[in-house]
Chains A and B, each alone.
Chain A
Amino acid sequence: DAKTTQPNSMESNEEEPVHLPCNHSTISGTDYIHWYRQLPSQGPEYVIHGLTSNVNNRMASLAIAEDRKSSTLILHRATLRDAAVYYCSFMDSNYQLIWGAGTKLIIKP
Chain B
Amino acid sequence: DVKVTQSSRYLVKRTGEKVFLECVQDMDHENMFWYRQDPGLGLRLIYFSYDVKMKEKGDIPEGYSVSREKKERFSLILESASTNQTSMYLCASSFPRRDDQPQHFGDGTRLSIL
Query: What residues make up the interface of A, taking CB atoms closer than 8 Å to B?
Result: 30-32, 34, 36, 41-46, 49, 51, 87, 91, 95-97, 99-102
Partner of A43, one of B100, B102, B108: B108
Complex contact A46–B107 (CB within 8 A): no
**Which of A30, A43, A100, A101 has a CB less than 8 Å from the CB of B107?**
A43
Interface size on B, residues (CB 8 A): 23
Interface residues of B (CB under 8 A from A): 4, 31, 40-45, 48, 58, 90, 92, 97-100, 102-108
| Contact status B107-A87, CB under 8 Å | no
| Residues in A whose Cβ lies below 8 Å from that of B104 | 46
Given known pairs A95-B31, A95-B97, the reply for A45 and B42 (CB within 8 Å) is no
Could you give 6 example pairs across A and B, Cβ below 8 Å?
A: A44-B90, A46-B102, A51-B100, A95-B31, A95-B97, A95-B98
Report the separation of the CA atoms of residues A44 and B107 in the bound assembly, to the nearest whole angstrom: 8
Known contacts being A49-B100, A91-B99, A96-B58, is A41 close to B31, with CB within 8 Å? no
Chain A nearest CB, measured from B102 CB (Å) = 4
